[in-house]
Amino acid sequence: MGIELKENFDIKTHTSWKIGGILKCVYFPETIDEFVALCKQNNDVCVLGNMSNVLISDFGCSKKIILTSKMDKISFDGSRVTALCGVKGQKLAQEAAKLGLSGLEFLIGFPGSVGGEVYMNASANGQAISDNFIKAVCYKENKGLYEISKDEMQFGYRTSICQTENIKILSAEFELIPEDIEKVNAKMNEFLAFRKAHQPLLNLPNCGSVFKNPAGNSAGKLLEDCGAKNFSIGGAKVWENHANFIINTGNATSTDVLELIYKMQSCVFEKYDIKLEPEVIYLGGNNKREAELCRLIYQKSQK
């Protein structure tokens, strides 16, 4: 089909955590048509974007992978903007700001891409991807290509229907608010300054927040009260400035990270009877210990 394919692809340098092994088969589509063709020809294909909240096993993964990094087109029509799923959130925020369009300023500090940000309803500092969302073009096995509206997305905190229905976002359309360019840039700078002050930058390889905030509570505060800022396993360490972040100090393995996630989750459960839900997505399955850790980490609480 003329779609770029890389076999035995070393993914490590492409992930936010700088962790990961060899992926057997990776496709790089550039258009929606190419994406759909790949999905039709490959059952149970795994779709990845900027891999900013993904932990990929050092032991690799046998699944076929679609990376959307080349699906990076943006188009504006007045105050409406449409972005393909591989567009980086930071780029979308910057392009909107150049035209004096407000509503996506918070994305300036996000390392993810539009597909993933819609999938998990990214949010920060009082703004969320759902606020200005109009509709998306998506793909679902046995249904094919179709559009989904804001109401149909069932957005919630860090959630959307995509997560429960295995829906793949291919492009998203937003209605933005005309605003003075200087005001939009000022808001972006404010968000970026906040993020730099409260979260590790990517020169300390990390995957953003490890856990979702429980209803009415803060995962970071619960972890801090459990002493998690002092936790480390191998090359993986809880960031000293915020207990809901794990950084790679230089030689962390995927097993190190999973062991540390389990330790963090367990200490909160033992002290508060709250099982924190991970934001991190794991991709692997070729190692027995990692498979056991994932079973423990991702299983729902029985309470």
Just list the catalytic residues. Answer: 158, 209, 279
Ramachandran angles phi, psi of 301, nearest 5°: -65, 140
Helices (H) and strands (E) in the chain, counts: 9, 18
Q: Residues 36, 14: contact at Cβ < 8 Å?
A: no
One-letter-per-residue 3-state SS of 2-53:
CCEEEEEEECHHHCCCCCCCEEEEEEECCCHHHHHHHHHHCCCCEEECCCCC
Q: Residues 73, 87: contact at Cβ < 8 Å?
A: yes
216: left (phi over 0), alpha (psi -120 to 50) or beta: left
In angstroms, the CA 31 to CA 11 distance is 22
Longest dimension (CA), the chain: 55
